[in-house]
Chain A
Amino acid sequence: MKELAGRLTALDPDAGAAVRVIAYFDRLSESRAGLEALVRGAAVLSGVPARLFDADRRVQVRVEPDGTRQDSDLPPDPGWPSAALTPDGAPALWLERAAAQPSVVDAVILERAAGAVRRVLDRTRGRAPIDDPALVETVLDATAPEAARLHAARRLGLDPAGQARALAPYDGRPRIAPAHPETEPPHAGHRLGIGPVVPVLDLPRSWTAARTALRFTADGTAQDPGARVVHADDLGGIALLADLVVPGAEPPPDVRAVDTAAAATPWLLATLHAVASTASLRAAATEINVHHSTLQDRLAHAEQLLGWPVRTPQGRLRLQLALTMRHLARA
């Protein structure tokens, strides 16, 4: 029985109607097939070799139309039909069809395969592209010899000539993330400092900046309003404050004033943060869901408690500095 239909198999490229292609990749995804199976599907259904190359994740798979794995060091031909894994990303999946005519079936194969590949990568390598704690520590350690850092970088799958950034989670191990701007590092609601993109050998510098950025983060709650994720790149000169305020030491007077006021007034921190972080009082009122006049009443009260105006430009700057230093002063 088997051979009868064997000749009929829809794996024959001639029978590669779009519907079948879609069903094929849907089924592969449903049963959580791996990358090679997906690339093989593209090769078998298209009848030409297919290859996946994802520089960020150091993934390379090439499969012949007979299903055998045959990786190649030659670069992909820009004329081959290709697909990216992300909407604006670089091409990552190719069908090695020379002198390509635009083909609907090729396009469907690429689109479905790329989507399935992206889901596998997100599932298997996206969470923590780089995860060996000892190796990560070495790469981020400015005192480690350059050769040791390069060796660790290679072991982690980093291109020593490429770029990356360091991430400093509040409760978690240091991480290293790909350089691509469209790859927003995962943080799942936790406090995270993000270092600048730097050459791999400069990662200790990105790590220092990420840790500094982490000190500017907040829990984002009413008791601790503020941004959970802070990019070092966005701090500019404000980063200098980090050197002036020593964590755990006696806080500056303005911070003490804020803390004292907040202890007696539950709404105070959220209200002050809204005023400090929005463009207008109207926007601040909307942010914390109070009427404009209520906000005015609250601010009058707050100014009394703090001892300085918060509705003048100078007073607003002083408030911003106080709230920022309050984060920096935490132990």
Chain B
Amino acid sequence: MTQVPPPFDPELAAALEAIKDMISPSLTSEEIEAVRTGPGIQLLGELDLTDGGFFEVEDRAVPGPEGAPDISLLICRPAAEPAAGPRPVIYYVHGGGMVLGTNRVGVDGPLAWARELDAVVVSVEYRLAPEHPHPAPVEDVYAGLLWTAEHADEITGDPERIVIAGASAGGGLCAALALLTRDRKGPQPIGQFLQCPMLDDRNDTPSSYQMAGLGIWDRTSNETGWTALLGEARGGPDVPAYAAPARAEDLTGLPPAFLDVGSAETFRDEVVAYASRLWQAGGVAELHVWPGGFHGFDGFAPQAALSQAARAAQLRWLRRILG
């Protein structure tokens, strides 16, 4: 197995250099608590969710999965009256390796799309591993989608135009959500937006070895996240598709997918493989592999030329899906 990694894009390499003291490629389970309470979360709280008053923001408690606590949805909708009927809904699932983050994390991306597309953003707070292993996170995410579809009119949303979207672990949860709602005949999203998604608990692709110790979220972090979610079952024969969508045997009947990933990240090969399998199953998928991109590069270095290109491609796909 080759150990020579593809080079990072020059601008992204420089950005990595600038943040290397603040973020290590490898997260161990002992470090989860420290990162959760670290300065990152605090900074996130300072994000202006109204985007200068453009959005009305509310946190709403809605029923969780059966027998489980309520979940909280962050709902951001344009304060103005809808221009033309109900709005499309971006149902967002945050990232954080299944072990970190809140429904504020990364929501500035969907808010920027919503501003362009006159859409509503709903960002779900799901329970985190290891305290809440599978299926708690994905069931919370499903419960939030149910509420959103059933109460779309309350938030100026159109239940027929829901795009599910997520990055990293959130992307993996979205892919799982698409499988789950297909099988349960639940709400049918019109698109699944999977940004550098975390799909495969086996952690054994060439890219996962190639990028060990490099960039963001290497195979050590990945093992930490999946083990938190699945315990000893991780990598074994009995991992369900709703936990790790790469395990799914049947990828037919899913909504059109957008997938993007960097060529220089752990998830490269599992994301490319998932897109290929969607096509092989007769599905619709758009795949972008950004050369020299590390995990989540467009979030860490949004100014870089590659990030601008990636974000433009994301928005173009959303425009097409939402008509």
Q: Which of A33-41, A95-103, A265-273, A308-316 contacts B (4 or more CB under 8 A)?
A: A33-41
A to B CB contacts below 8 Å, 23 in the list: A1-B95, A1-B97, A1-B101, A1-B168, A2-B95, A2-B106, A3-B296, A4-B41, A7-B47, A8-B39, A9-B300, A9-B301, A10-B22, A11-B301, A24-B14, A27-B16, A28-B10, A28-B11, A28-B13, A31-B10, A33-B14, A40-B305, A67-B302
Mark interface residues in A181-214 (1 if CB within 8 Å of B CB, else 0): 0000000000000000000000000000000000
Task: Check B11 against A4 for contact (C-beta < 8 Å).
Answer: no
On B, residues with C-beta under 8 Å from A are 7-8, 10-11, 13-19, 22-23, 27, 35, 38-41, 43-44, 47, 94-97, 100-101, 105-106, 167-169, 196, 216-217, 221, 295-296, 299-305, 307-308
Contacts of B14 in A (CB 8 A): 23-25, 27-28, 31, 33, 37, 41
Q: Taking the nearest CB of chain B, how far is it from the CB of A67, in angstroms?
A: 3
Contacting pair A67 B95 (CB below 8 A): no
Q: Which residues from A are CB-within-8-Å of B100?
A: 1, 4
Q: Which B residue's beta carbon lies closest to that of A33?
A: B10
Beta-carbon contact of B217 and A1 below 8 Å: yes
Report yes or no: A33 in contact with B40, Cβ–Cβ below 8 A. Answer: no
Q: Which of A40-55 contact B (CB under 8 A)?
A: 40-41, 43-44
Q: Is A32 an interface residue (CB 8 A)?
A: yes
Given contacts A24-B18, A37-B304, A67-B307, 12 further A-B contacts (CB under 8 A): A1-B217, A2-B168, A3-B44, A3-B94, A3-B106, A4-B23, A4-B38, A8-B39, A9-B19, A24-B15, A31-B7, A37-B10
Closest A residue to B225 by beta carbon equals A1
Are A6 and B106 within 8 A (Cβ)? yes
The 9 closest A-B pairs by CB, nearest first: A2-B296, A67-B303, A33-B10, A3-B106, A31-B10, A10-B18, A4-B40, A5-B23, A7-B43
Which of A2, A33, A65 makes the CB contact (< 8 A) with B11? A33
Alpha-carbon distance A8/B302, docked complex (angstroms): 13
Q: Which residues of B contact A37 (CB under 8 A)?
A: 10-11, 14, 304-305
A20 on interface, CB distance cutoff 8 Å: yes
Residues of chain A contacted by B300 (CB below 8 angstroms): 2, 5-6, 9
Residues of chain B lying within 8 A (CB to CB) of residue A24:
14-15, 17-18
Measured as residues with beta carbon below 8 angstroms from the partner, the interface class of chain A is: 20 to 34
Q: Chain A residues near B15: list those with CB within 8 A.
A: 9, 11, 24
How far, in angstroms, from A40 to B305 measured CA to CA in the complex?
9
The closest CB in chain B to the CB of A23 belongs to: B17
B308 with A67: CB separation less than 8 A: yes
> Shortest CB–CB separation between residue B226 and chain A, in angstroms?
13
Which chain A residue shows the least CB distance to B8?
A31
Determine whether A68 belongs to the interface, using a CB cutoff of 8 Å to chain B. yes
Q: Which residue of A lies closest to B296 (CB)?
A: A2
Closest residue of A by beta carbon distance from B94: A3
Does A146 interact with chain B (Cβ within 8 Å)?
no
**How many Å from the CB of B162 to the closest CB on chain A?**
22
CB distance from B9 to the nearest CB of A (A): 8
Query: Would you call B18 and A20 a contact (CB within 8 A)?
Result: yes
Give complex CA distance A5, B11 in Å: 17
Query: Is A66 on the interface with B (CB-CB < 8 A)?
Result: yes
* Measured CA separation A23–B17 after assembly (Å): 7
Which residue of chain B is the closest to A65 with respect to CB atoms? B303
A34 to B168, CA, bound (A): 30
- A40→B95 contact, CB < 8 A: no
Q: Which residues of the partner chain A approach B97 to less than 8 Å between Cβ atoms?
A: 1
Q: How far is the CA of A102 from the CA of B238 in the complex (A)?
A: 63
Q: Is the CB of A40 within 8 A of B167?
A: no
Give chain B residues whose Cβ lies under 8 Å from the Cβ of A33: 10-11, 14
CB-CB < 8 A to A8: which residues of B?
19, 22-23, 39-40, 43
| Distance between B259 CB and nearest chain A CB, rounded to angstroms | 16
Name the B residues within 8 Å of A40 (CB-CB): 11, 303-305
Closest B residue to A67 by CB, please name it.
B303
* Identity of the chain B residue whose Cβ is nearest the Cβ of A26 in the assembled complex: B17
A27 CA / B169 CA spacing, docked (Å): 30
> Which of chain B's residues have a CB closer than 8 A to the CB of A67?
302-305, 307-308
